[in-house]
Amino acid sequence: MTRIKLIYQWLDDRLGISSTIMPIIQHPVPPNLTWWYVLGSATLVAFVMQVVTGVALAFTYVPAPSDAYESLEFITQRAVLGNIVRGIHYWGSSAMVVLMFLHMASAYLMAAYKYPRELTWVSGVFLLVLTLAMAFTGQLLRWNQDAYWAIVLVAAQVSRVPLIGHWLTQLVVAGQTVGGATLTRFYATHVFLIPALTFGLIGIHLYMMTRHGVSEPPKTSGPVDPATYKQRYHEKLSREGVPFWPDFAWKDVVFALFAGSIVLLLAIVFGAPELGERADPTLIQAHPKPDWYFLWLYALAALIPPELEIVMTLGMGVVGFLLVILPFIAPFGERRASRRPWAIAVVGFATLAIGVLLWEGFRASWSPALHARLPKEVTVKLQGSALQGGNIFQQKGCMNCHIVAGAGGLRGPELSDVGHRLSREQLTWRILYGAHNMPAYGTTLQPEELNALLDFLGIQHGTKTTKGH
């Protein structure tokens, strides 16, 4: 024990621990802080967990289109503890997103963005953006079908932004087409740029917290008045304040251990997510689906009319802008959520909307049915060219999105009676040039395949089995 004390004294003399670091750790905080105040430190622990597991994965991961997928297969299936490390990284990402959302929601409900903590809130908003960006870019590094076509879809969305759409597309794709430069850009962004920015913003966030103090629970605080708030806050701290360590920090430690244990348990029990099919740009029938925390956006984009997608894209920017300017348009006034019903309504509506969209995304009745097959009552009647067309209809994935005789997906219109509704010329145009969510097949079908497909569709004179399709 004496030797440890001597070592500490030596380090203290060189590093100034007792004079610089300890005052920060032991800075006074308001008494009776609730468990909601542990969410920020838990998010920080989740980020550190991501950095540690990310470094471990980076030792083996190869950021090249020809090897990225195989390197992840090796990590998952053959590397020592590779599946668990990937699992911790995956579930840790989910934990970080959830904790960040809860932290921002609680800070908003408690009006912790008001004077003098405006910049603390702004730095938190940018940390939320970086958290989502880190989660998104990490998903793309799997370089499977979901990752490849997610990049294509994002590039298509940002290309619609007025004035800067073309520049944003070049920024996302890193060139004219999705390829090696794209993967390298996302790898550098995910591994170097985003963590560096996050560390910097965390430093600013913590500095602002120590400078202005932790916001007291709204129940013990009256309305914020910039003229008197600081004096009243510091007087209260001098009378009732307790040191952060150890009086409150034990809650941070307990909750961080709890959250970390849940992530580790999920990694051991469920492991890393399936990689799926490797990226193949020639398979245009791919239907990318993001990780669950972006599934609500996927559902929203799929459920709204295509012409409103640009509104959704710009709407995300408007929401971010409103979050940034919030503390400057409402810097003082009441902090209690019970006296700010509109704040409760905003958080409640956002949570309900995201929850409903997540449910729709998981249920995905409008998503392609990837294993659909033509019913026997349809195939048994086919002969010659129509039989060949039926086989092509299945091979090209048309069944994934279209119902025929009660089987198939709901993404596109039902084709059970298409022979009645559309002429051969109209069918030819739709197949060759596409429509709405349907891709164009003009460059992938041979003339004889097109004629066979038209023969098959032309004899579909059945009865529709769904409404509105």
Backbone angles phi, psi at 119, to 5 degrees: -75, -25
168: confidence class by pLDDT, cuts 50, 70, 90: confident
Higher per-residue confidence, 18 vs 69: 69
Residue 121 predicted with pLDDT over 50 = yes
* Superfamily (CATH) of domain 376-458: Cytochrome c-like domain (1.10.760.10)
Mean of pLDDT values over 63-86: 94
Lowest-confidence range among 41-45, 234-238, 417-421, 441-445? 441-445
The contacts of residue 147 (CB under 8 Å, 6+ apart) are 139, 140, 141, 279, 288
Residue 55, burial from CB neighbour count under 10 angstroms (0-12, 13-18, 19+):
exposed
Other C-beta atoms closer than 10 Å to the C-beta of 274 total 9
Q: What is the pLDDT of residue 157?
A: 79
Tell me 404's DSSP state: B
Domain 34-363: assigned CATH number: 1.20.810.10
Residue 257 predicted with pLDDT over 90 = yes
Higher per-residue confidence, 320 vs 246: 320
Q: What is the pLDDT of residue 467?
A: 45
Helix, strand or coil, per DSSP, at residue 398: helix
Q: C-alpha distances in angstroms, 358 versus 276, 351, 362, 365?
A: 21, 10, 6, 13
Q: What percent of the chain has pLDDT over 70?
A: 94
Lowest-confidence range among 90-99, 120-129, 448-457? 448-457
Residue ranges matching CATH 1.10.760.10 in the chain = 376-458
Q: How many Å apart are CA 412 and CA 438, to the nearest integer? A: 8
Q: What is the pLDDT of residue 364?
A: 66
Lowest-confidence range among 52-56, 132-136, 390-394? 390-394
Q: What is the pLDDT of residue 285?
A: 56
On the question of a cis peptide bond just before residue 273, with omega within 30 degrees of 0, the verdict is: no
Residue 334 predicted with pLDDT over 70 = yes
Query: In degrees, to the nearest 5, what angle opens at C-alpha 312 toward C-alphas 362 and 107?
Result: 80
Task: Tell me the pLDDT of the chain averaged across its residues.
Answer: 88
Residue 464 predicted with pLDDT over 70 = no
Q: What is the pLDDT of residue 189?
A: 96
Higher per-residue confidence, 27 vs 221: 27
Q: How far from each other are the two terminal CA atoms of the chain, in whole angstroms?
A: 78
Residue 333, strand partner residues = 224
Lowest-confidence range among 209-213, 304-308, 418-422? 304-308
312: confidence class by pLDDT, cuts 50, 70, 90: confident
Q: How far does CA 42 lie from the centroid of its chain? A: 19
375 and 137 in contact (C-beta within 8 Å)?
no
Mean of pLDDT values over 262-268: 96
Mean of pLDDT values over 287-303: 84
Q: What is the pLDDT of residue 86?
A: 96
Mean of pLDDT values over 180-195: 95
Q: How many Å apart are CA 295 and CA 190, to the nearest integer? A: 20
Residue ranges matching CATH 1.20.810.10 in the chain = 34-363
Residue 7 predicted with pLDDT over 60 = yes
107 and 156 in contact (C-beta within 8 Å)?
no
Largest CA distance in the chain: 93
Long-range contacts of 51-56 (CB under 8 A, 24+ apart): 51/195, 53/85, 53/86, 53/88, 53/89, 53/92, 54/89, 54/191, 54/195, 56/85
Q: How far does CA 363 lie from the centroid of its chain? A: 18
Q: What is the pLDDT of residues 419-456, one digit of tens each?
A: 888 888 888 888 888 776 677 888 788 889 899 989 99
Q: What is the pLDDT of residues 18-40, one digit of tens each?
A: 887 777 788 888 988 899 999 99
Residue 368 falls in which region: left (phi positive, over 0), alpha (psi -120 to 50) or beta: beta
Helix, strand or coil, per DSSP, at residue 438: strand
